Amino acid sequence: MKIGLVGLGKMGLNLAQNMMDHGSEVVGFDLNKDFVDQAAGFGAEAATSLDDLLSKLPSPKVVWLMLPAGKPTEMTIDNLVKVLDKGDYIVDGGNSFWKTSVADAKKAEAEGINFFDCGTSGGQSGARHDGNFMIGGTSKEAFDAALKPVFEGIAQENGYLYTGAAGSGHYLKMVHNGVEYGMMEAIGEGFDVLAHSQFDYDNEAVAKLWNNGSVVRSWLMELCEEAFAKDANLDEIKGTMHSSGEGKWTLEEALDQQVATPVIGLSLMMRYRSMETDTFTGKVVSAMRHGFGGHAVDKA
Of these residues, 180, 185, 225, 246, which one is catalytic? 180
CB atoms within 10 A of CB 258: 6
Angle at 49 between CA 48 and CA 54, to 5 degrees: 110
- Please give the Cα distance from 35 to 224 (Å, whole number): 30
- 31 vs 7: CA distance, rounded Å: 8
Q: Is 256 helix (H, G, I), strand (E, B) or coil?
A: helix
> Which residues are paired to 65 by β-bridges?
6, 92
Q: Is 10 a catalytic residue?
A: no
Task: Please tell me the distance from the alpha carbon of residue 127 to that of residue 88, in angstroms, as a whole number.
Answer: 24
SS3 180: helix
Cβ neighbors of 40 (< 8 A, separation 6 or more) are 28, 46
Active site residue 148: no
Contact 8, 38 (CB under 8 A): yes
Angle at 161 between CA 159 and CA 165, to 5 degrees: 155
Q: How far apart, in whole angstroms, are the C-alpha atoms of residue 291 and residue 218?
A: 13
Catalytic residue among 173, 225, 246, 283: 173
Catalytic annotation, residues: 173, 180
